[in-house]
Structure formats: structure tokens, C-alpha cells
């Protein structure tokens, strides 16, 4: 348990930041899930639109420190290749 005033304040700040980061991570996962569902549905145009809206959300998570840069790049790359394959088929 925090004892000094500084450590008590840091504990309060961490609690607030954790809530913000949790909400942001959840929002990112929702956007990614929409892309996955569109791919599973087989509609290339809907999947492409969903990916287009998910990319900035994912990169915003990178700039805010919620997601690592390489993780976001990997996810975008894999999803875009799946959307491209869906469009080609």
C-alpha cells in the first residue's frame, strides 16, 4: 500500500490512466473485430471499408502507447492481405 503522499498520488493517476487505456484497447479490438466479421462474411467492399476505419484507430493506439508499433503494423499487414485476397477471389 502507498504510504507517502507522492506514491498515493501516483496510485490515483495510474488508476485513471488504466481506465483510459482499457477503454482505448477495447475500442481498438471492436474495430478489429468488425474487420474480422466482414472478412468472414465474404463481402470484400465491407471488409475494405472496415479496414480503412480500423487502421487510424490502431495507429492512434500506437501513438498513445496502448499498442506497440510493430504489433499494430503486423495486424494491419495481415488484415490487409486477407482483405486483398478476399477481393481477388
pLDDT tens, position by position, 19-71 = 999 999 999 999 999 999 999 999 999 999 999 999 999 999 999 999 999 99
Number of domains the chain contains: 1
Residue span of the structural domain in which 54 resides:
5-88
What does the radius of gyration of the chain's CA atoms come to, in whole angstroms?
A: 18
Which CATH number characterizes residue 62's domain? 1.20.58.110
Task: Annotate the chain with DSSP letters as a single string.
Answer: ---SHHHHHHHHHHHHHHHHHHHHHHHHHHHHHHHHHHHHHT-HHHHHHHHHHHHHHHHHHHHTTSS-HHHHHHHHHHHHHHHHHHHH-
pTM beyond 0.85: yes
pLDDT tens, position by position, 33-45 = 999 999 999 999 9
Amino acid at each position: 500500500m502507498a504510504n507517502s503522499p507522492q506514491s498515493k498520488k501516483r496510485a490515483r493517476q495510474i488508476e485513471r490512466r488504466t481506465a483510459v487505456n482499457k477503454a482505448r484497447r477495447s475500442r481498438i479490438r471492436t474495430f478489429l473485430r468488425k474487420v474480422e466479421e466482414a472478412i468472414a462474411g465474404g463481402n470484400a467492399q465491407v471488409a475494405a471499408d472496415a479496414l480503412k476505419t480500423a487502421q487510424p484507430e490502431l495507429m492512434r493506439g500506437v501513438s498513445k502507447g496502448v499498442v506497440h508499433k510493430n504489433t499494430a503494423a503486423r495486424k494491419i499487414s495481415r488484415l490487409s492481405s486477407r482483405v486483398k485476397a478476399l477481393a481477388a477471389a
